[in-house]
Amino acid sequence: MRRFEGYGVMITGAARGIGAATAHRFAAEGAQVAVTDVDGRAAEKTAAGIREQGGVARAFTCDVGSRESVEAAVAAAVEEFGRLDVLVNNAYACAPDAARFEDEPDDVWARDLDVTLTGAYRCCRAALPHLVASGRGAIVSVGSVNGLQDYGNHAYSAAKAGLGSLTRTLAGHAGPRGVRVNLVAPGTVRTPAWSGRGAALDAVSGLYPLGRVGEPEDIAAAVTFLASPDAAWITGVTLPVDGGLTSANLGFRTQLA
């Protein structure tokens, strides 16, 4: 099934993990994919892998913390593909919490919010005119269950919750202009961010009703669904893709058993 034949798609943070899996999924369904990342060399590696599989992909260096870098990447993608139909906001920053909340430094808080939330804002602002012009524009942001419940990481969680709010307000603004805006909220996903922590992933797997943590491909499937014509009457929603984590508390049940 090639739902994105002729589409131009831009994905941030696409060099690895969820972003890379999403880039591969879009390309496999016919899209021309702009693989963007602050690590341009890693982005090119992902794009090259897509091309080796017969897909169409170009890599662009993009620092979502810079308005100039974002606007240049959007312009380059539009010039390369002749259009932009889908924006996927996937780039994020997540610093460990200080032991005590009152010891959290301002710069750590500011960076998590700037990359994760304000970075998505910068990308939406730059891409929106092109998404409107496409006549089938869609924005899908990658949030987190951290934006829905408490799983730690104060700044990251606040930024992901903010993405949910931005999704709703932008959906109301962009809907009459023909652009849909949605968000996917993943649970724990086996990405390079968990490298060397396999035991921790195994430990939390039992807290998921479906008995496992997620894979990047699980999130890519949800992102492409929300970006596709199959979701033509869906906008402004947050879709948890979390193996049932936010719908059930297995740890609590186990303690009562």
Query: Catalytic site residues?
Result: 156
Q: How far from the centroid of its chain's Cα atoms is residue 218's Cα?
A: 12
Residue 58: CB atoms within 10 A of its CB come to: 18
How many angstroms separate the CA atoms of 212 and 94, rounded?
23
Q: DSSP of 30-98, one letter per residue?
A: T-EEEEEES-HHHHHHHHHHHHHTT-EEEEEE--TT-HHHHHHHHHHHHHHHS---EEEE-----PPPP
- Tokens for 128, please give them: 């929106």
